[in-house]
């Protein structure tokens, strides 16, 4: 008999603690907290999906109680608390938690206000199509390994045969022992495109994949501020991604009291609690930490989110919004930590690593599936070969069977005489008499031929890697076509961030700014060239009482300078202006610039490079003009920079780029034009905080409406005059041969849609501050000059009306006429519509190296 002391094993305490803690840590890491990089699931999620699949809860079947699923998971696979299982099940059904939910929920599954879901006995669930199509399909084809469950009574899959990179699709978060993971969700279509690109070219680097997968795509939408955090996360596995809600500044109209500005929040950053956010803003207003807010309310409904933050009458809306971004979760950071299990070990993965692991896993599953199908096909083919032998020797086989004492004897005789296997002999003995008919025999022959083709195809797949990769690509494209959705989260530029413009296509763009301050950017390709005198296409959804006021064509890499009536200039990159469809209204300019409510943008220009020999010519409403070096505006602060000093009641209205040797042409509403040099004698360069000199003497009730620049090359031969009085004589209707040659020309467009090209030679060079010459004769008393532009033969125009109707047409389609002519119809307008602005389509940017010699 042993005494208790003999069973005591002396152990070093530190070693035992270290070993036990390490076992516990690895158990938590591998078995609970970290997802597998292959299917992107933690054990609890994998077990829930597999248990639902076993229960037959596919999309075509009715919903079942969540309590039934939780009980199945607990009883067979997951010996932990029911709360943990139900919480995991609920999250997979929440469209605000998962970019592509895996479970279809019926009942109360919680809300973005952090409301808890109903108890599991009330809610119901079933699998979504994405789960059956992309995660569980082929699981019965021995594509993955199965292991014993906790008590050895059941088998469960070690991993699901996922057809998509699910870990990046829906992301994951978890805290293990000594480590944690936090992977953001992404867009399914972008992930599939990136995976296919990596299959085609395994040498692709992260910087190439970022062009295809630009960043996370959160289910709640919102915006990502800047790309540096995304790049860091994709390149190293760790990075801080700044998220921001979508907010707009609107004017609320009330009956019986004055209108108020309000900040409208329609989207929140990922995992932000809406009700807690509203409560926090209210507390900060009460504590005087945020000023300018008079009321806050939640107007969200089934149509979407709408948080209304009403502002006080004297509040600066942009400042209030910036304070909300700074002090509340409307702007938050997502700390990406791309940690996942690879071959059972936690690894920090880059974007390429994630996709490489997934592609390797897909290759393995397709090989295993093909081997399984090949084995089954060969077994069936072997059996059919036995049946074919029986059909060819039917009478001897029937004789053997009839003469045998029992089935065992018959089976032995068949094997010996016809060299059959046990399986073939059993199949012959079990063959029904109806299969001896000619029709049934033909079916056996046809099936045998099909199996021969299938076996050859499977062997070819297993022998060629390119066949396997083609299958992976085909399956991915099918899933993308069925389950792909548009991107929810917009990636916008962060002020002060150095952006790699190589990641942004330098496309031709149109920028529209309305009178009420809505701005948007559209590709020029949205508008095809049309015939003269057609109606055009809608370019913006204009609010009632709003009209298009400014219209600019540029390229996405250009810097857009926006000048206000107060003489202040603001700057933004063209690609920072949100891109919109033709029919959208755009975004309020106050969301982009630190501009006061009483300030208004009066001129916009685009600059591709801030060169020393280029100047800005500025013209005010009262006719003061000045020239300042463009280099003085290369560094513009976020709150703007003074561009010109203005007299009382004056406003800055027009700004153009010029060189020292160029000339300036001005147009007035009553059809007058003056043309003078931009050199030092007429316009000497002045500093930013100066007023300028008088540009033109105007008639009574006349006003300036346009300014453009003519290069020195095109004014060669233009007559110069010392007379500053108006030239009243009528110009000849017939133009000289020199005047009808190739341009440039002066293009005159009236507000009623009439226009013409005029030879530059008909606008003599005069001294500044004169009255000028007549540029056009009007068809009616309601007509007046809207635009006076310098154009070339190859140019195309973009003409926009007050209602936002845009027409694109070639300059050569507009007739060439003298100054005294009335022009031709260039755009057909409604009775109450009018031409608002005219802009030239920019030249297509050249690709680097396009013209280099090889």
Q: Quote the radius of gyration of the chain (alpha carbons, Å).
A: 38
Residues in the chain: 854
Output the six-digit token pair for 248: 């707009």
SS3 215: coil
Backbone angles phi, psi at 616, to 5 degrees: -105, 125
Report the run of H or E that residue 787 belongs to, with start and end.
Answer: strand 785-791
In contact, 96 and 112? CB cutoff 8 Å: yes
b vs e for 325-363, b when ≥16 Cβ sit within 10 Å of the residue's Cβ?
Answer: beebbbbbebebbbbbbbeeebeebbbbbbbbbbbebbb
Residue 393 makes CB contacts below 8 A (sequence gap 6+) with 418
**How far apart are the C-alpha atoms of 814 and 822, rounded to whole Å?**
12
In contact, 58 and 126? CB cutoff 8 Å: yes
**How far apart are the C-alpha atoms of 803 and 805, rounded to whole Å?**
6
3-state secondary structure 638-695: CCCEECCCCCCCCCEEEEEEECCCCEEEEEECCCEEEEEECCCCCCCECCCCCCCEEC
In contact, 274 and 300? CB cutoff 8 Å: yes
- CA 812: distance to chain centroid? 38
Residue 553 makes CB contacts below 8 A (sequence gap 6+) with 508, 509, 510, 511, 524, 798, 839, 840, 841, 842
Pairing of strands 223-225, 490-492: parallel
In contact, 796 and 840? CB cutoff 8 Å: yes
Q: How many CA atoms lie within 13 A of 410 on its CB side?
A: 19
Q: How far apart are the first and last CA of the chain?
A: 94
Q: How many CA atoms lie within 13 A of 634 on its CB side?
A: 10
Please report, to the nearest 10 degrees, the dihedral formed by the alpha carbons of residues 678, 679, 681, 686 taken in order: 80
**How far apart are the C-alpha atoms of 583 and 697, rounded to whole Å?**
41
**How far apart are the C-alpha atoms of 475 and 482, rounded to whole Å?**
11
In contact, 89 and 126? CB cutoff 8 Å: no
Output the six-digit token pair for 596: 């006061």
Residue 229 makes CB contacts below 8 A (sequence gap 6+) with 239, 240, 241, 242, 333, 336
Q: How many CA atoms lie within 13 A of 786 on its CB side?
A: 24
**How far apart are the C-alpha atoms of 668 and 771, rounded to whole Å?**
10
Sequence-ordered alpha helix ranges (H) in 66-186: 66-76, 82-91, 129-130, 166-170
**How far apart are the C-alpha atoms of 232 and 172, rounded to whole Å?**
18
- Let me know if 754 is a catalytic residue: no
**How far apart are the C-alpha atoms of 592 and 571, rounded to whole Å?**
10
**Active-site residue, selected from the candidate residues 122, 270, 575, 754:** 122
Sequence-ordered alpha helix ranges (H) in 305-350: 317-327
CA 397, 401, 402: angle at the middle one, nearest 5?
Answer: 115
In contact, 420 and 392? CB cutoff 8 Å: no
Tell me which residues are annotated as active site: 122
């Amino acid at each position: 008999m042993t005494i208790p002391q003999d069973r005591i094993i002396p152990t070093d305490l530190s070693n035992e603690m270290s070993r036990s803690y390490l076992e516990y840590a690895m158990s938590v890491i591998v078995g609970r907290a970290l997802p597998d990089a292959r299917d992107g699931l933690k054990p609890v999620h994998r077990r829930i999906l597999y248990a639902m699949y076993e229960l037959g809860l596919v999309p075509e079947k009715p919903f079942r109680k969540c309590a039934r699923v939780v009980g199945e998971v607990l009883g067979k696979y997951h010996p932990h608390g029911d709360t943990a299982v139900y919480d995991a099940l609920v999250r997979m059904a929440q469209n605000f938690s998962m970019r592509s939910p895996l479970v279809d929920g019926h009942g109360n599954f919680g809300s973005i206000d952090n409301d808890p879901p109903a108890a599991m006995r009330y809610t119901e669930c079933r699998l979504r199509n994405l789960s059956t199509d992309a995660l569980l399909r082929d699981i019965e084809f021995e594509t993955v390994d199965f292991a014993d469950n906790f008590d050895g009574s059941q088998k469960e899959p070690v991993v699901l045969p996922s057809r998509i990179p699910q870990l990046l699709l829906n992301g994951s978060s978890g805290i293990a022992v000594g480590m944690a993971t936090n992977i953001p969700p992404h867009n399914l279509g972008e992930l599939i495109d990136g995976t296919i690109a990596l299959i085609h070219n395994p040498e692709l680097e992260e910087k190439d994949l970022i062009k295809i997968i630009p960043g996370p795509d959160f289910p709640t939408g919102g915006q990502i501020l800047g790309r540096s955090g995304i790049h860091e996360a994709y390149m190293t596995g760790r990075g801080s991604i700044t998220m921001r809600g979508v907010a707009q500044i609107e004017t609320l109209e009330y009956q019986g009291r004055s209108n108020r500005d309000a900040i409208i929040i329609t989207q929140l950053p990922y995992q932000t609690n809406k009700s807690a956010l509203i409560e926090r803003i209210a507390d900060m207003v009460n504590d005087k930490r945020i000023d300018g807010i008079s009321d806050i309310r939640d107007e969200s409904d089934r149509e979407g989110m709408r948080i209304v933050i009403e502002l006080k009458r004297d509040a600066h809306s942009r400042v209030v919004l910036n304070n909300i971004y700074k002090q509340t979760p409307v702007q938050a950071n997502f700390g990406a930590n791309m940690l996942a299990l690879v071959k059972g070990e936690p690894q920090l993965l880059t974007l390429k690593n994630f996709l490489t692991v997934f592609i390797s896993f897909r290759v393995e599953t397709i090989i295993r599936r093909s081997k399984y199908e090949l084995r089954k096909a060969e077994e069936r083919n072997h059996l059919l070969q036995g049946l074919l032998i029986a059909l060819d020797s039917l009478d001897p086989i029937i004789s053997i069977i009839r003469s045998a004492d029992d089935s065992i004897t018959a089976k032995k005789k068949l094997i010996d005489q016809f060299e059959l296997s046990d399986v073939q002999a059993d199949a012959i003995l079990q063959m029904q008499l109806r299969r001896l008919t000619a029709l049934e025999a033909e079916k056996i022959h046809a099936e045998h031929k099909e199996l021969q083709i299938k076996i050859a195809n499977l062997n070819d797949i297993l022998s060629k890697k390119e066949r396997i990769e083609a299958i992976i690509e085909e399956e991915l494209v099918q899933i993308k076509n069925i389950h792909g959705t548009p991107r929810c989260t917009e990636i916008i530029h962060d002020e002060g961030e150095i952006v790699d413009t190589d990641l942004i296509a330098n496309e031709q763009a149109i920028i529209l700014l309305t009178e009420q301050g809505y701005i948007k950017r559209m590709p020029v390709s949205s508008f095809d060239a049309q015939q003269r005198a057609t109606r055009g296409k809608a370019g913006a959804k204009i609010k009632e009482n709003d009209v298009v006021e400014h219209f600019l064509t540029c390229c996405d890499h250009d810097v857009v300078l926006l000048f206000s009536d107060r003489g202040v200039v603001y700057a933004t990159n063209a690609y920072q202006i949100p891109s919109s469809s033709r029919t959208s209204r755009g975004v309020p300019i106050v969301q982009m610039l630190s501009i006061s409510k009483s300030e208004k943008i009066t001129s916009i220009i685009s600059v591709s490079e801030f060169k020393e020999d280029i100047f800005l010519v500025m013209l005010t409403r009262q006719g003061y003009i000045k020239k300042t070096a463009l280099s003085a505006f290369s560094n513009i602060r976020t709150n703007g920079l003074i561009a010109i000093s203005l007299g009382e009641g004056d406003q800055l209205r027009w700004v153009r780029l010029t060189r020292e040797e160029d000339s300036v042409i001005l147009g007035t509403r009553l059809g007058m034009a003056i043309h003078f040099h931009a050199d030092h004698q007429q316009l000497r360069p002045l500093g930013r905080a100066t007023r300028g000199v008088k540009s033109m003497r105007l008639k009574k009730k006349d006003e300036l409406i346009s300014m453009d620049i003519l290069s020195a090359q095109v004014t060669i031969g233009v007559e110069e005059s010392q007379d500053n009085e108006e030239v009243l004589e009528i110009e000849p209707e017939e133009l000289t041969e020199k005047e009808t040659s190739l341009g440039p020309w002066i293009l005159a467009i009236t507000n009623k849609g009439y226009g013409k090209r005029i030879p530059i030679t008909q606008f003599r060079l005069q001294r500044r501050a004169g009255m000028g010459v007549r540029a056009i004769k009007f068809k009616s008393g309601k007509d007046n000059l809207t635009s006076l532009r310098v154009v070339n033969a190859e140019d195309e125009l973009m003409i926009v009306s007050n209602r936002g109707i845009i027409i694109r047409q070639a300059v050569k389609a507009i007739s060439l006429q003298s100054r005294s002519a009335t022009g031709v119809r260039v755009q057909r307008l409604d009775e109450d519509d009018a031409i608002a602005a005219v802009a030239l389509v920019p030249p297509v940017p050249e690709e680097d190296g396009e013209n280099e010699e090889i």
